[in-house]
Amino acid sequence: MRDSLGSGQREAMLLPEALTQLYAACANYPKPASFDDSYGPLDPEVAARVLNSPLTSVSPEDASPLFEVLLDDETAFAHFFPRLVELAVNFEAPFHFPDLPAVVERARRQRLLVVPEVRRATHNLGDALWEVLFATSLASESIENIVRASAWIADSLQLRLDGWSTTDHPSGQDNLSAYILYNLDSIRSRRRLRNDREWDDRPQHESEISLWLRSTDLMTRICQVARSTGEPGPIEACAGLRDLHTAPSFP
């Protein structure tokens, strides 16, 4: 398997392997004996379940209040970080908070990602997630979550975007079409991504993605996919980008 960046210089981890590495990278952070609830009380039953269960058994239902109470406890957050990520990347499960961008943003703001082994494991996780994006059909919200989380991991997404544009995998092409259509109205009307407020703290990444979505190269590529596959997603994305490029207000 070529790596997500399209360089072909190293093998990308599969997602289960990347999660195992992330657990190992955070293994030295101890489970807290109790929780600092200065930002709001944690239900005693939730606290008891979390503190008396293995890390891998923390449930989606308990993850949300746990995430909130860990706001200012960096060591405890580091302990639970792998499990919060694992829950957030289960894209087949019903949505629950915190989502993947929220978890990774917290890790970056708390400087957990400057720890070398955690940084390395998180970058490998990012690579694995883009392999999922290239090879597995996902809901639009899951695609958006991978892209936004990646903006908190990497300083630039350009190589990933370029690799996405050229993927030959049908699922990757479907996801690309879905992402174009997900953002098309906002790109057309405001030259910003659909969830623009979520990008306010990552303006460089939003600009990078917006320019890519508006590029002639992407339009040409998705229209080639539309012609070669005849699939409705690429056909609709091609038509939308053609309309964008022929609008009087473009570029």
pLDDT attached to residue 225: 98
Residues 183 and 103 in one domain: no
Task: Answer for the pair 176, 187: CB distance below 8 angstroms, yes or no.
Answer: no
d(CA 131, CA 135): 6
Residues 74 and 122 in one domain: yes
The model's confidence at residue 39, banded by pLDDT at 50, 70 and 90, is: low
pLDDT attached to residue 38: 62
The model's confidence at residue 67, banded by pLDDT at 50, 70 and 90, is: very high
Closest to 181 measured CA to CA, from 119, 96, 243, 127: 243
The model's confidence at residue 95, banded by pLDDT at 50, 70 and 90, is: confident
Contacts for 6 with CB less than 8 Å, ≥ 6 apart:
159, 160, 162, 163, 166
The model's confidence at residue 11, banded by pLDDT at 50, 70 and 90, is: low
Torsion of CA 103, 68, 63, 121, to 10 degrees: 30
Residues 133 and 178 in one domain: no
8, pLDDT greater than 50: no
Residues 240 and 186 in one domain: yes
Number of domains present in the structure of the chain: 2
What mean pLDDT comes out for the span 61-69?
94
Residues 15 and 137 in one domain: yes
The model's confidence at residue 40, banded by pLDDT at 50, 70 and 90, is: low
Task: Answer for the pair 77, 107: CB distance below 8 angstroms, yes or no.
Answer: yes
pLDDT attached to residue 4: 37
Residues 192 and 134 in one domain: no
The model's confidence at residue 6, banded by pLDDT at 50, 70 and 90, is: very low
Torsion of CA 236, 239, 241, 244, to 10 degrees: -130
Domain boundary among 141, 176, 197: 141
- Position 207 in a domain: yes
Residue 11, beta-bridge partner list: 2
pLDDT attached to residue 197: 93
- pLDDT by residue (tens digit) across 156-185? 999 999 999 999 999 999 999 999 999 999
Which structural domain range is residue 5 located in?
1-141
- Mean pLDDT (the chain) is 92
- Position 79 in a domain: yes
- pLDDT by residue (tens digit) across 174-214? 999 999 999 999 999 999 999 999 999 999 999 999 999 99
pTM of the model as a whole: 0.92
96, pLDDT greater than 80: yes
